[in-house]
């Protein structure tokens, strides 16, 4: 059994229709799902975080890190 887990549920994740801790019988389906979820989060969420898939045995973890600010950005959300 393979699982897909989001490391930390940010506010955007909690507001979305995405589900954490999903289980799959097939490794390829689990990996495909994890990659799709990470892509969706990176494209559709608020851009405060960056998401990437990490494989840990039978678990695919979607890791969360703070997104680097662009040089000269004031952080007001209107520069990007």
Residues 69, 75 contacting (CB under 8 angstroms): yes
Checking if the pLDDT of 7 tops 70, the result is yes
Checking if the pLDDT of 19 tops 70, the result is yes
> Domain residue spans in the chain?
2-66
Question: For residue range 49-68, what is the model confidence (pLDDT) as tens digits?
Answer: 999 999 999 999 999 999 88
Please list the residues that pair with 60 across neighbouring strands.
Answer: 4, 55
In the structure, what pLDDT confidence band is assigned to residue 80 with cuts at 50, 70 and 90? low
Instruction: For residues 80 and 78, give the distance between their C-alpha atoms in angstroms, rounded to a whole number.
Output: 6
- Nearest CA among 14, 21, 9, 23 for reference residue 51: 9
Residue 76: half-sphere exposure toward Cβ, Cα within 13 Å: 4
pLDDT at 77: 60
- pTM for the complete prediction? 0.81
């Amino acid at each position: 059994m393979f699982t897909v887990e989001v490391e930390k549920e940010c506010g955007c994740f909690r507001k979305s229709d995405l589900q954490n801790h999903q289980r799959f019988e097939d490794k390829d389906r689990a990996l495909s799902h994890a990659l799709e979820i990470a892509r969706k989060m990176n494209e559709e969420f608020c851009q405060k975080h960056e998401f990437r898939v990490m494989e840990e045995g039978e678990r695919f973890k979607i890791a969360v890190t703070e997104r680097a600010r662009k040089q000269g950005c004031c952080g007001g959300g209107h520069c990007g």
